[in-house]
Structure 1
């Protein structure tokens, strides 16, 4: 398996909202996982990156619902994995929210921009760490060159989010282990100069605190 896909340049799709019946059908089919409907609309030469009222493309709708097989013909038709909606979500970014390794791997050969940021200023690794998506965190660290120490607008890295917003359970313990093994800086503090270890101790996360002490 290819280990790293270099960050690509975000391709900004024209913000053309749906205007025809086929436009609406493509958007609806993508969101519902209707592969036949997607293919029919594409055969009618609907713009593959047509937008709905919130700026979402068919590929983004498919990614949000984790319809991997539906996303495939959209990508084959040239759908943009970096097209962001009015919430700054993109097909690539939402894989970190859903935790879908299959969708992540489907998008990788199509040039997703690993530096693209969501509305919180975070890359896809950060929401995955927060939500306890162990398999996704492992895969995105192993198979891409995503920045493990990226800091979002809250002043938090993936490591900080795993501690601050996690529950301290086994999934978040594993994520902390994965992040540290990938080179995350164990004592990189938040905007208030509080380190991950201090957050873990304050929350009573004994196992995570021990991991952070060993890494410091």
Structure 2
């Protein structure tokens, strides 16, 4: 009997994360807006966290369930609540290009100064990953375009260093220049955005930087 109990306890410990989360997490995972609304109306704790530290809103953001995210945010879910990886609905939406949810978080108290586990704002990974409209939205919202993360990189540096230099990243560099990003803010090795662009043979980006006065 003791062995059976031990086996059952082990099985519970190995159950999927969703099984150890709240009913609201389960409803989000099932993409059931009606169930989410029902649970909100019944007074279910809206910012409870699962075993990864995710709130239902963060899970909805990860799954890109826009209307569910809207319902949770309108009901007062914390758009800045971080999980064990230091992601929040706002930061995750920015990094992963979830534009609709990002806009909702900005309308409901997103902390523009909050940073992810790399010490970067939402703008930096958005610039790296080529999310043009997200970058535009974050710049308009007032995110610091010259914030430096733990790697010593700004959004402008990441848009060059970690990209393929294609049209999306060219447009992002154009936006950052227009927003007044510091063109000569170098990385920890003293290499400037212009030098990185030249080293990678990103000619359109290098030309933009030179025209804007980069050195």
Q: Distance in 1 between matches of 2:177 and 2:210?
A: 11
Counterpart of 2:40 (choices 34, 39, 42) is 42
Cα RMSD for the two superposed structures: 1.5
1:148 aligns with 2:119: no
1:53 aligns with 2:28: no
Partner of 1:128: 126
Q: Distance in 1 between matches of 2:96 and 2:143?
A: 17
| Structure 2: runs of 5 or more not aligned | 1-18
Instruction: Compare CA radii of gyration and give the structure with the larger one.
Output: 2
Tell me the secondary structure at the aligned position of residue 22 of structure 2: helix
Deviations 1:125-153 (A, max 9, x none): 011000000111112212x1110101000
Runs of 4+ in 1 over 4 A off after TM superposition: none
| Structure 1: runs of 5 or more not aligned | 1-20
**Match runs of 1:168-179 below 5 Å:** 168-179=165-176
1:91 aligns with 2:89: yes
Task: State the TM-score, normalizing by the size of structure 1.
Answer: 0.86
Q: Distance in 2 between matches of 1:119 and 1:22?
A: 25
Aligned residues: 195
Task: State the TM-score, normalizing by the size of structure 2.
Answer: 0.87
Q: Distance in 1 between matches of 2:61 and 2:202?
A: 33
Deviation at 1:49, TM superposition (A): 0.3
Deviations 1:78-131 (A, max 9, x none): 110000000000000011122122111111221110000000000000110000
Partner of 2:160: 163
